[in-house]
Amino acid sequence: MTRRVGLLASWLVMIVIFGWLRPEEFLNTGTASAVLSSQAPLLILALGLLPALTSGVLDLSAPAALGLAVTLVGELNVVHHWPLWATAVAVLACGVLVGALNAVFIVAAGVDPIVVTLGTGTLLGGVAIGVNIVPTAGISPWLVQLTRYQVLGVQLVFYLALALAVVTWWFAVFRPAGRQLFFVGAGPEVAALTGLNVAAYRAGALVYGSVVASVAGILLAGTLGSADPTIGPTYLLPVFACIFLGATTITPGRFNAWGTVIATYFLTTGVTGLELLGLSGWVNQVFYGASLVLAATASRMTARARRPRLSPRRSARRPRPRGHPARPERIAGSGTVPPGGDLGRD
Amino acid sitting at position 280: S
C-beta closer to another protein: residue 79 or 177: 177
C-beta closer to another protein: residue 9 or 346: 346
- Is residue 62 within 8 A of residue 51, CB to CB? The reply is no
- Report how far residue 4's alpha carbon sits from residue 309's, in angstroms, rounded to the nearest whole number: 21
C-beta closer to another protein: residue 23 or 341: 341
SS3 (DSSP) at 155: strand
Rg (CA), the chain: 21
**Is position 195 an interface residue for another protein (rule: CB under 8 A)?**
yes
Count CB-CB contacts under 10 A for residue 83: 12
60-79 as b/e: b if 16+ CB within 10 A: bbbbbbbbbbbbbbbbbbbe
Given 100, 190, 293, 305, the residue binding another protein (CB under 8 A): 190
Binding mask 237-276 for another protein (x = CB under 8 A): ----------------------------------------
C-beta closer to another protein: residue 163 or 193: 193
218's CB contacts (< 8 A; 6+ apart) are 69, 70, 73, 87, 88, 91, 143
C-beta closer to another protein: residue 197 or 230: 197
Q: Which stretch binds another protein (CB under 8 A): 35-43, 139-147, 205-213, 331-339?
A: 331-339
73's CB contacts (< 8 A; 6+ apart) are 87, 91, 139, 143, 217, 218, 221, 227
C-beta closer to another protein: residue 80 or 179: 179
C-beta closer to another protein: residue 256 or 269: 256
**Is position 333 an interface residue for another protein (rule: CB under 8 A)?**
yes
**Is position 336 an interface residue for another protein (rule: CB under 8 A)?**
yes
**Is position 314 an interface residue for another protein (rule: CB under 8 A)?**
yes
Subset of residues 160 to 189 that bind another protein, contact rule: CB under 8 A: 173-176, 179-180, 182-183, 186-187, 189
| Smallest distance, another protein to C-beta of residue 318, A | 11
Count CB-CB contacts under 10 A for residue 3: 16
Instruction: Name the strand (E) or helix (H) holding 136.
Output: strand 136-137
- Is residue 87 within 8 A of residue 73, CB to CB? The reply is yes
Given 115, 193, 290, 305, the residue binding another protein (CB under 8 A): 193
- Is residue 181 within 8 A of residue 205, CB to CB? The reply is yes
| Smallest distance, another protein to C-beta of residue 205, A | 17
| Smallest distance, another protein to C-beta of residue 165, A | 18
- Report how far residue 213's alpha carbon sits from residue 204's, in angstroms, rounded to the nearest whole number: 14
Q: Which stretch binds another protein (CB under 8 A): 8-16, 70-78, 102-110, 193-201?
A: 193-201
- Is residue 233 within 8 A of residue 67, CB to CB? The reply is yes
DSSP state of 337: S
**Is position 281 an interface residue for another protein (rule: CB under 8 A)?**
no
C-beta closer to another protein: residue 80 or 345: 345
C-beta closer to another protein: residue 2 or 336: 336
**Is position 311 an interface residue for another protein (rule: CB under 8 A)?**
yes
Given 194, 280, 285, 297, the residue binding another protein (CB under 8 A): 194
**Is position 322 an interface residue for another protein (rule: CB under 8 A)?**
yes
- Report how far residue 200's alpha carbon sits from residue 207's, in angstroms, rounded to the nearest whole number: 11
**Which residue ranges make up the site for another protein (CB under 8 A)?**
173-176, 179-180, 182-183, 186-187, 189-197, 307-308, 310-314, 316-317, 322, 333-343, 345-346
